[in-house]
Amino acid sequence: MTAPERQVDLFVIGAGSGGVRAARIAAGYGARVVVAEEYRVGGTCVIRGCVPKKLLVYAARFREAFEDAVGFGWSATAPTFEWADLIANKDREIARLEAAYMTTLGKAGVEIVKSRAVLEDAKTVRLEATGERIRAEHILIATGATPHLGPAIPGIEHVISSNEALHLDTLPARVLVQGGSYIAVEFASIFAGLGSQVTLVYRGDNILRGFDDDVRQHLRVELEKRGIHVITGNTVAAVEPCGRHFTAHLSGSMQVAADAVMFAIGRPPAVRGLGLESVGVRLAPNGGIAVDEYSQTSVPGIWAVGDVTNRINLTPVAIREGHAFADTVFGGKPTRVDHRCVPTAVFSEPEVGTVGLSEAQAIAEIGDVDVYKTSFRPMKATLSGRDTTVLLKLLVDAATGRVVGCHIVGEGAGEMIQLVGIAVRMGATKADFDATMAVHPTASEELVTMRQPTLRHRRKAAE
């Protein structure tokens, strides 16, 4: 085998959220950095995740806005919607962002190569596009995760993932979405908002597994109010083409007619074919690359950040991990990422915002927990006449008064939880919340005005 053609300080595999940040910061510390990307610079978040999805979410929300406007004196003149315009505008914005990412990396002195890259040994990477082999003092694996469609059921070839859903030629009149994850409920909301008839099929007993049970139930009811048919305890067993449409056969023997069938049932870490086994990079039991608290893998000099490590699969987490890696390895500042208390949102309609423990987790971890919960009709619904309610919930450690969880379902929940997240992370107590003046009239003011617990969980007295 010939010697590698050249040597760099850092080779990053994958120009997504984690890889781009790590490459830019490392280059800022003076490292010679190459980043390889097999698809498009920006990764999942920018190209086929958070950003295009949120643009579609905005589009979908106009339906309610037009309907609600009537109660406020506006006369709606039957607005029409063009899917092709939305997708073209969305694609233009994504292309602009991709170009901006490339410019930023270029200005930082990072070399971008458009190729799939694989490990050849612990210090060498091979570019599949050219066959070039590059030696690197450090290698960062930031390959993210990819949608998987589950077992090869009959008709699986007709099923799309979120990747294809962002590029459909036309808006399907009827959509079946399988999954209970945040991506599944977000796409169900998008299609419903844009006018599709949506069926959401989930194998478990309720959507959004892992979220607070009140949030799960509240959102399910709200989705149903918006016309989404939620079928739980079922899976799609077969997808049968019927002309230009499909019949989905469910495990419970129901049948659902659909023009598009989308699965959002998981995103395993993208580890396949990277050459990990041959160089000794170990995987964790959850299929992600096993790393220590500094994102170092089992092989010294090989590091991994973001979804490929399957820790918390969110863009800000991948970015923080990439930044911490660069600080640790090239900035002389060993930096760990704190994965506790990560606020997050689900951009369904209505939105969910959550930080900290669910009620079940709080009971399991703390035991003595006070629950403050309220559900009410938002002021806007009084004139719009919309049948919707907001949910606000705080979980408080009864011994210390610390707020250990906050859960919101309603308009603006994502924006609210970003700010509540600061207080919860700092260890704010219920008394701190109470001492904060309300902002009136808002929905979130209830977070500082809930006086009495609705429920008190107490460990049984010592037996």
> Is 124 an interacting residue with respect to ligand FAD (CB under 6 A)?
no
Taken in order 161, 164, 165, 169, is the CA torsion positive or negative? negative
- If the CB atoms of residues 155 and 322 are measured against ligand FAD, the closer one turns out to be 322
Q: Considering only the stretches 196-204, 304-312, 348-356, 433-441, report the one whose residues sit in contact with ligand FAD under the rule CB under 6 A.
A: 304-312
**Contact flags string 390-429 toward ligand FAD, x per CB under 6 A:** ----------------------------------------
Of 4, 49, 343, 421, the one binding ligand FAD (CB under 6 A) is: 49
Instruction: Determine if 38 is a binding residue for ligand FAD (CB under 6 A).
Output: yes
Phi, psi of 265 (to 5 degrees): -115, 10
Q: What's the min distance (Å) between Cβ of 19 and ligand FAD? A: 5
* 158 assigned to active site: no
Q: Which of 121, 151, 144, 116 is nearest to 271 (CA)?
A: 144
Judged by CB, which is closer to ligand FAD: 318, or 408?
Answer: 318
Tokens representing residue 192 in the block:
């419903």
Which of 26, 190, 198, 270: binder of ligand FAD (CB under 6 A)? 270
Contact of 297 with 254, CB cutoff 8 Å: no
For ligand FAD, which residue has the nearest CB?
16
Residue position matching structure tokens 């109660």: 71
Residue 261 contacts residue 239 (beta carbons within 8 Å) = yes
Q: For residue 170, count other CB atoms closer than 10 A to its CB.
A: 10
Give the long-range contacts of residues 210-213, CB within 8 A, separation 24 or more. Answer: 210/358, 211/346, 211/352, 211/354, 211/358, 211/407, 212/354, 212/358, 212/359, 212/360, 212/393, 212/405, 212/407, 213/358, 213/359, 213/360
Residue 182's alpha-carbon distances to 206, 228, 269, 408, 430, in angstroms, are: 12, 15, 17, 15, 29
Give the one residue of 29, 39, 66, 83 binding ligand FAD; rule: CB under 6 A: 39
Q: Indicate whether 373 belongs to the interface with ligand FAD (CB under 6 A).
A: no
Comparison of 31 and 56: residue with beta carbon closer to ligand FAD: 56
Q: Pick the binder of ligand FAD from 24, 134, 143, 234 (CB under 6 A).
A: 143
Residue choice 50, 221, 237, 448 for contact with ligand FAD (CB under 6 A) = 50
Smallest distance from ligand FAD to CB 333, Å: 21
Residue 275 is a binding residue for ligand FAD (CB under 6 A) = no
119 vs 450 by CB, closer to ligand FAD: 119
Closest by CA to 430, choosing from 456, 407, 400, is: 400
Segment interacting with ligand FAD, rule: CB under 6 A, options 83-91, 221-229, 302-310, 360-368: 302-310
* DSSP element (H, E) containing 409: strand 403-409
63 with 86: CB under 8 angstroms?
A: no
In the complex, least distance from residue 143 CB atom to ligand FAD, rounded to whole angstroms: 3
Q: Which range, of 34-42, 148-156, 214-222, 254-262, touches ligand FAD by CB under 6 A?
A: 34-42
Size of the site for ligand FAD (CB under 6 A): 35
Closer residue to ligand FAD in complex, CB, 422/438 = 422
Q: Among residues 116 and 220, whose Cβ is nearest to ligand FAD?
A: 116
Q: What is the DSSP letter of 79?
A: -
- For ligand FAD, give the closer residue by CB, 37 or 446: 37
Which are the contacts of 168, defined by CB distance < 8 A and separation ≥ 6?
83, 87, 160, 260
Cβ-contact 345, 407 below 8 angstroms = no
Strand 390-397 and strand 403-409: pairing?
Answer: antiparallel
| % helix, strand, coil for the chain, step of 5 | 35, 25, 40
Please say whether the beta carbons of 44 and 337 come within 8 A.
no
- What residues numbered 305-344 form the site for ligand FAD, per CB under 6 A? 306-308, 313-316, 318
Asked if 371 and 388 touch (Cβ cutoff 8 Å), the reply is: no
Residue 277 contacts by C-beta under 8 Å, 6 or more apart in sequence?
Answer: none
User: Which listed residue (148, 167, 218, 440) is catalytic?
Assistant: 440
Shortest distance, CB of residue 448 to ligand FAD, whole angstroms? Answer: 27
**Which residues 157-196 are close enough to bind ligand FAD by CB under 6 A?**
162, 183
**Is 289 an interacting residue with respect to ligand FAD (CB under 6 A)?**
no
H or E stretch covering 223: helix 213-225
In the set 90, 116, 323, 407, which binds ligand FAD (CB under 6 A)?
116
| Residues labelled as active-site residues | 440
| Residues binding ligand FAD (CB under 6 A) | 13-19, 36-39, 43-45, 49-50, 53, 116-118, 142-144, 162, 183, 270, 274, 306-308, 313-316, 318
